[in-house]
Copies of this chain bind each other. A is one copy, B any other.
Amino acid sequence: MKILVLNPNTSQGVTDKIAAVARRAAAADTELEFITAPYGVPYIATRTEALIAGQIALEVIAEREHEWDAVVLAAFGDPSLSALREIFSIPIIGLAEASMLMACPLGRNFSIVSFSTNLQAWYRECVEWHKMDNRLASIRMLDKPFNDVNAVQSDFEDMLVDLSLRAIQEDGAEVIITAGAPLAGLASRVRDRIPVPVIEGVAAAVGMAEAMCRQNPRAPETGAFKRPVAKESSGLSDTLTALLSNK
């Protein structure tokens, strides 16, 4: 089983964090490949940036889709997940999606905790798209400026723990999701400081991708993720042109 873990951000440092968690989580016979976005932004925080990242993901996956059995889309807001699912045949698992699904057996609800209020609107839309708002206790975000996305995890660890405790006490959260690829690895480290389960999202996504591959689901011939009919286009990149034309 070969899984692409795609970081749609341009930060290699974030990819390194993701890779460390993914490797620990994967089964012995799972092969992982990691790709960092070749262009775009260092970390996606908004719908606009997610829109751009979605197109990057389209192009990256289209180039070599046949080489992987599944893709983990390693950005918490699951950018353009529905587009990727309809156009590609292999399973695509989102980081937010896997985190939320894994949280379900662990509590009746969850809170999402992350490092920047700028992410809030995007994350909320992601939760709603997954129809998981009936499980959402709250989204809580730090409101601190930062210089280096690679350092937010270590710089803000204590504040993120505090924020998690407030989500538990004030919002009744039964599970904490530390959201955002730059926080990969944090959940395992703060496990003993937070009195409810904390989801390690990348591990959840790898586990879900593995379980999904074992299901070996067939491509749907109907419904939301049916492969679109071929479409002629103009002015797009060769990769996108070929993808849309089903070639």
Known A224-B121, A225-B174: A214·B25 in contact at CB below 8 Å = yes
Is A244 located at the chain interface by the 8 A CB criterion?
A: yes
| A166 CB–B CB distance under 8 Å | no
Among A12-20, A38-46, A151-159, A178-186, the stretch that binds chain B is A38-46
- Asked if A3 CB lies within 8 Å of chain B CBs, one says no
Cα distance A191–B219 when bound, in Å? 10
Produce 1/0 per residue, A78-111, CB < 8 A to B. Answer: 0010110111000111100100011011111000
A 190-219 contacts with B by CB, 8 A = 191-192, 195-200, 203-204, 207-208, 210-212, 214-218
Please measure, in the bound complex, the distance between the C-alpha atom of A87 and the C-alpha atom of B50, giving whole angstroms: 12
B105 x A235 contact (CB < 8 A): no
Q: Do A204 and B208 touch (CB < 8 A)?
A: no
Interface assignment of A162: CB less than 8 Å from any CB of chain B: no
Pairwise interchain contact A121-B223, C-beta atoms closer than 8 A:
yes
Contact check, B172 vs A196: say whether CB atoms are below 8 A apart: no
CA distance A83 to B223 in the complex (A): 26
Bound Cα distance from A132 to B39, whole angstroms: 36
Partner of A41 from B10, B94, B244 at Cβ < 8 Å: B244
Contacts of A107 in B (CB 8 A): 220, 223-225
Known contacts A28-B28, A101-B101, A211-B210: A47-B233 contact under CB 8 Å? no
Q: Given that A86-B46, A86-B121, A105-B97 are known contacts, is A222 also in contact with B236, CB under 8 Å in the complex?
A: no
Contact check, A236 vs B106: say whether CB atoms are below 8 A apart.
no
In the bound complex, what is the Cα–Cα distance between A160 and B233 (angstroms)?
27
Closest Cβ neighbor of A25 among chain B residues: B214
Contact with B along A216-247 (1 / 0, CB 8 A): 11101111111011011111100010011000
Interface residues of A (CB under 8 A from B): 10, 25, 27-29, 38-42, 45-52, 54-55, 58, 80, 82-83, 85-87, 91-94, 97, 101-102, 104-108, 118, 121, 124-125, 128-131, 134-135, 168, 172-174, 191-192, 195-200, 203-204, 207-208, 210-212, 214-218, 220-226, 228-229, 231-236, 240, 243-244
**11 CB < 8 A contacts A-B:** A10-B233, A46-B231, A48-B228, A51-B51, A91-B105, A101-B101, A105-B212, A125-B224, A131-B134, A203-B214, A207-B215
